[in-house]
């Protein structure tokens, strides 16, 4: 190992003692940071995914450029024979050069870390996900470096080695892309996808380090290092000798073993989940639910063996998740895997459960092709069943399955009364998706305030989205009595009335403020705007369609101060109002959602045009959602109650939740907390949208960008000049004899 490390240090020293190494680093870091910030600032999201999505294509040219001279240059100059004449073996030489190239690539990755520090200024970063992403990038470099070293070992010309390396890496990156797999049979397409680097790298990029993906990249490096060793030994051994034949046979057998391990090693266990809240690991509440089911629960996965490659990772996630359920159930949860396409009994079972075959539309090679298959799940218990006809995503699957098990095994579900009044009858809002989401775990009923009875525990929670023009004294008193008796209420109301066909919104006093008055909380008659954290809208212009920021569509941030919003990074907050909590008693109110520091309000008639000028004075953090819990305050003499108040009645309307699923997660968490069933919150839909990227001002935003795009490459240029000048001075220094002769 000493020889290996000596050779590795020499490789790194050679790269840093010549301008080539610095030029490669400067080009890589400069292009990478430029493309990243261009995409990240457009998305306004604090995530490294834009960089990770481009990294395989960046490495496609960067890795061959780094590795092309590793062996080829020594072969051309005759240095290779001189080195091997020393007490250094071919494996030690190859591993030493490989280690040196990998360390150089990892140094290049480390030079992108200032991007993370810049993002940390504008957001609360998901550090675990970023650790996993850099681990995936390091593994990608590990695998591709083996390809580059092999290309350098089979050629004595650096340019030839570069071209061969680019070509082979291009095939490995391209082989998993859907447009190229359209014409392949599904089974062959899945095999090709498993052999490509993208499917394995994307899986780690989401924040989960799976042992199968790590094995793939290590195997990729091992295969090409074996091929590189074979190339070196071919020059040394007799072309038709028995030793070379045995070496070739052994190399082929080892490579075949590594390929088979990756193709059929689906049951390889081991997974490190670094996502917030362990999004891809069963929560404690799910494990307790699975362990305590009263009788046997059967979960059936209907999945075709010949699925298109674009859902192969999803299929793998499903099998992993269901295996976790089986382990957590300790014999009480049975998992059945079946292929309706090849088993007539499973096909009849799927049809009886309402799981049809699905057509997959795949675009490629200039045409649209249709592929059919099954990918559905059914949960069965005591003659009842609940199904997911087609699984489109896995990030919310734990919540859906646990909700199904809970709904099937719980004798009586809590009641939730839903009320969606509108002060302006002309403004039509629908909340069908909210009702469907609540119906998974609650008995949802429509509330009529004038006639329905309100008793503590029946319903468990009142959910209000909207505000009537007024509330009678009797209704106000009934709701206050309900809250004082231990009931919970989620109130979503706006202090601005939006017109149906007009560009002006008018202030109003929400009727629910009369109910909230004893708690010292109210919805203000204003509209919040945020200069720094907002969504963009598309507007026509003389140059085409352009994206412009729309401050009235704020992107609010979660305080993560309660179980309600602990796992919610933020929410989309269009045309909403702020809350006044100044009159609340100390310890009873907890802000849940807030704006950035660059937020203000308009309290008179509001013009909704996106291109208008917004004020820049009186900007501060505004509270837009708050939790009220008088039972949590010590020695509180006010009325008891549990409430969640949001200054936006459109937060979970159907037109908003499709593009902002985090809004639905927040509201469902609030309902669970109000019903005092907090176990559901821990297994809420585990979709992890990255936190919004919010800087206090444009100057800081630009500083972060240019410090990375220009500052890091500039520092490399300065470092390279200083080191090269120092080497030149040492080279120009006249030779001086030392020791006794000099004396």
Residue 29 has pLDDT above 90, yes or no: yes
ω into 535 cis (within 30 of 0): no
Q: Which two tokens stand for residue 554?
A: 């704020």
Buried residues in 166-197 as b, exposed as e (16+ CB within 10 A): bebbeebbbbbbeebbbeeebeebbbbbbbbb
- How crowded is residue 23: how many other Cβ atoms within 10 Å of its Cβ? 14
Instruction: Determine the average pLDDT of the residues in 642-651.
Output: 94
pLDDT of 31 reads 93
Please write the tens of the pLDDT for every residue from 399-443: 888 888 888 888 778 899 999 886 555 556 789 999 998 988 888
Residue 682 has pLDDT above 80, yes or no: no
pLDDT classification of 743: cutoffs 50, 70, 90: very low
pLDDT classification of 576: cutoffs 50, 70, 90: very high
pLDDT of 187 reads 61
Residue in this structure with the two tokens 């307790």, named with its chain if needed: 288
Q: How far from 721 is each of 9, 207, 581, CA to CA, in Å?
A: 21, 38, 59
pLDDT of 26 reads 94
Lowest-confidence segment of 267-276, 319-328, 504-513, 679-688 by average pLDDT: 679-688
pLDDT of 507 reads 93
Of the candidates 558, 528, 551, which has an alpha carbon nearest to the alpha carbon of residue 665? 558
For domain 284-405, the CATH superfamily is Glutaredoxin (3.40.30.10)
Please write the tens of the pLDDT for every residue from 283-315: 888 888 888 888 899 999 998 876 665 566 677
Q: How far from 206 is each of 199, 276, 687, CA to CA, in Å?
A: 11, 11, 11
pLDDT classification of 553: cutoffs 50, 70, 90: very high
The structure's pTM equals 0.63
pLDDT classification of 100: cutoffs 50, 70, 90: very high
pLDDT classification of 366: cutoffs 50, 70, 90: very low
Angle between helix axes 197-205 and 127-153 (nearest 10 degrees) is 160
- Report how far residue 592's alpha carbon sits from residue 673's, in angstroms, rounded to the nearest whole number: 13
Of the candidates 33, 54, 17, which has an alpha carbon nearest to the alpha carbon of residue 115? 33
- How crowded is residue 208: how many other Cβ atoms within 10 Å of its Cβ? 23
pLDDT of 182 reads 46
pLDDT of 85 reads 67
Residue 80 has pLDDT above 80, yes or no: no
Residue 739 has pLDDT above 60, yes or no: no
Pairing of strands 384-388, 367-373: unpaired
Q: How far from 145 is each of 60, 139, 243, 689, CA to CA, in Å?
A: 10, 10, 28, 32
Buried residues in 358-396 as b, exposed as e (16+ CB within 10 A): bebebeeeeeeeebebbbbbbbbbeeebbbbbbbeebbb
> Would you say 53 and 35 are in contact if contact means Cβ atoms under 8 Å apart?
no
Per-domain residue ranges for the chain?
Answer: 2-210, 284-405, 415-676
**Who wins on pLDDT, 364 or 73?**
73
**366 — alpha (psi -120 to 50), left (phi > 0) or beta?**
left
pLDDT of 537 reads 87
Residue 630 has pLDDT above 80, yes or no: no
**Topology of domain 415-676, CATH:** Rossmann fold (3.40.50)
- Cβ-proximal residues to 179 (8 Å cutoff; 6+ apart), any chain: 363, 364, 365
pLDDT classification of 465: cutoffs 50, 70, 90: very high
- Report how far residue 41's alpha carbon sits from residue 536's, in angstroms, rounded to the nearest whole number: 11
- Report how far residue 157's alpha carbon sits from residue 73's, in angstroms, rounded to the nearest whole number: 7
Residue 158 has pLDDT above 50, yes or no: yes
Residue 694 has pLDDT above 90, yes or no: no
- Report how far residue 223's alpha carbon sits from residue 336's, in angstroms, rounded to the nearest whole number: 36
Buried residues in 587-615 as b, exposed as e (16+ CB within 10 A): ebbbbbbbbbbbbbbbeeebebeeeeeee
Beta pairing partners, 81: none
Residue 363 has pLDDT above 50, yes or no: no
Please write the tens of the pLDDT for every residue from 214-224: 888 999 999 89
pLDDT of 357 reads 84
């Amino acid at each position: 190992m000493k020889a290996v490390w000596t050779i590795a240090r020499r490789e790194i020293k050679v790269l840093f003692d010549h301008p080539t190494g610095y030029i490669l680093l400067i080009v890589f870091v400069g292009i990478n940071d430029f493309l990243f910030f261009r995409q990240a600032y457009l998305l306004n999201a604090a995530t490294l995914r834009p960089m990770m999505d481009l990294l395989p294509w960046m490495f496609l040219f960067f890795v061959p450029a780094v590795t092309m001279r590793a062996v080829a240059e020594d072969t051309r100059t005759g240095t290779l024979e001189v080195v091997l004449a020393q007490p250094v073996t071919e494996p030690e030489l190859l591993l030493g050069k490989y280690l040196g190239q990998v360390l150089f690539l990892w140094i290049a990755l480390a030079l992108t870390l200032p991007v993370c520090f810049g993002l940390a200024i504008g957001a609360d970063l998901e550090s675990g996900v970023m650790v996993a992403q850099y681990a995936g990038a390091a593994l990608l470099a590990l695998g591709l470096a083996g390809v580059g070293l092999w290309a350098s070992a089979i050629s004595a010309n650096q340019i030839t080695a570069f071209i061969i390396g680019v070509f082979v890496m291009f095939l490995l990156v391209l082989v998993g892309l859907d447009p190229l797999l359209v014409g392949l049979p599904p089974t062959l397409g899945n095999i090709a996808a498993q052999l490509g680097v993208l499917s394995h790298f994307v899986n780690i990029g989401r924040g989960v380090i799976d042992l199968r993906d790590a094995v793939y990249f290590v195997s990729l490096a091992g295969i090409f290092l074996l091929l590189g060793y074979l190339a070196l030994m071919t020059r040394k051994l007799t072309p038709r000798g028995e030793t070379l034949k045995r070496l070739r046979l052994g190399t082929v057998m080892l490579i075949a073993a590594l390929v088979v391990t990756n193709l059929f090693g689906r049951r390889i266990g081991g997974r490190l989940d670094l996502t917030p809240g362990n999004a891809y690991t069963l929560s404690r509440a799910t494990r307790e639910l699975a362990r305590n089911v009263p009788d046997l629960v059967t979960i059936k996965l209907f999945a075709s063996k010949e699925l298109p490659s674009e859902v192969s990772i999803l299929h793998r996630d499903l099998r992993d998740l269901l295996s976790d359920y089986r382990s957590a159930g300790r014999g009480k949860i049975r998992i059945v895997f079946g292929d309706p396409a090849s088993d007539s009994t499973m096909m009849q079972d799927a049809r009886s459960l309402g799981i049809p075959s699905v057509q997959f539309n795949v675009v490629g090679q200039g045409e649209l092709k249709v592929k059919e298959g099954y990918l559905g799940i059914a949960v069965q218990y005591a003659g009842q069943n609940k199904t997911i006809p087609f699984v489109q995503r896995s990030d919310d699957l734990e919540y859906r399955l646990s909700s199904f098990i809970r709904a099937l095994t719980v004798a009586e579900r809590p009641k939730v009364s839903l009320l969606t009044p509108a002060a302006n009858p002309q403004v039509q809002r629908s909340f069908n998706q909210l009702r469907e989401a609540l119906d998974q775990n609650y008995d949802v009923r429509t509330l009529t305030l004038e006639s329905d009875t309100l008793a503590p525990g029946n319903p468990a929670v009142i959910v209000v989205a909207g505000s009537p023009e007024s509330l009678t004294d009797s209704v106000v008193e009934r709701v206050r009595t309900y809250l004082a008796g231990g009931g919970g209420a989620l109130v979503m109301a706006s202090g601005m009335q939006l017109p149906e066909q007009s560009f002006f919104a008018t202030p109003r006093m929400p009727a629910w403020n009369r109910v909230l008055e004893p708690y010292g909380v109210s919805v203000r008659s204003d509209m919040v705007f945020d200069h720094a954290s907002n969504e963009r809208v598309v507007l026509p212009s003389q140059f085409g369609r352009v994206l412009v920021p729309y401050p009235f569509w704020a992107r609010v941030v979660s305080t993560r101060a309660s179980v309600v919003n602990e796992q919610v990074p933020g929410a989309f907050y269009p045309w909403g109002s702020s809350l006044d909590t100044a009159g609340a008693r100390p310890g009873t109110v907890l802000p849940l959602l807030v704006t950035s520091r660059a937020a203000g309000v308009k309290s008179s008639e509001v013009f909704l045009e996106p291109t208008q000028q917004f004020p820049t004075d009186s900007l501060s953090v505004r509270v837009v959602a708050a939790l009220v819990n008088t039972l949590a305050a010590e020695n509180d003499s006010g009325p008891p109650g549990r409430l969640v108040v949001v200054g936006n009645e459109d937060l979970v309307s159907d037109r908003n939740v499709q593009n902002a699923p985090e809004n639905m997660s927040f509201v469902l968490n609030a309902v669970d907390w109000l019903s005092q069933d907090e176990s559901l919150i821990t297994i809420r839909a585990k979709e992890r949208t990255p936190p919004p990227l919010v800087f206090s001002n444009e100057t800081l935003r630009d500083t972060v960008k240019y410090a990375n795009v220009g500052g890091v490459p500039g520092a490399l240029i300065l470092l390279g000049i200083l080191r090269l000048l120092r080497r030149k001075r040492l080279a120009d220094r006249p030779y001086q004899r030392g020791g006794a002769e000099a004396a």
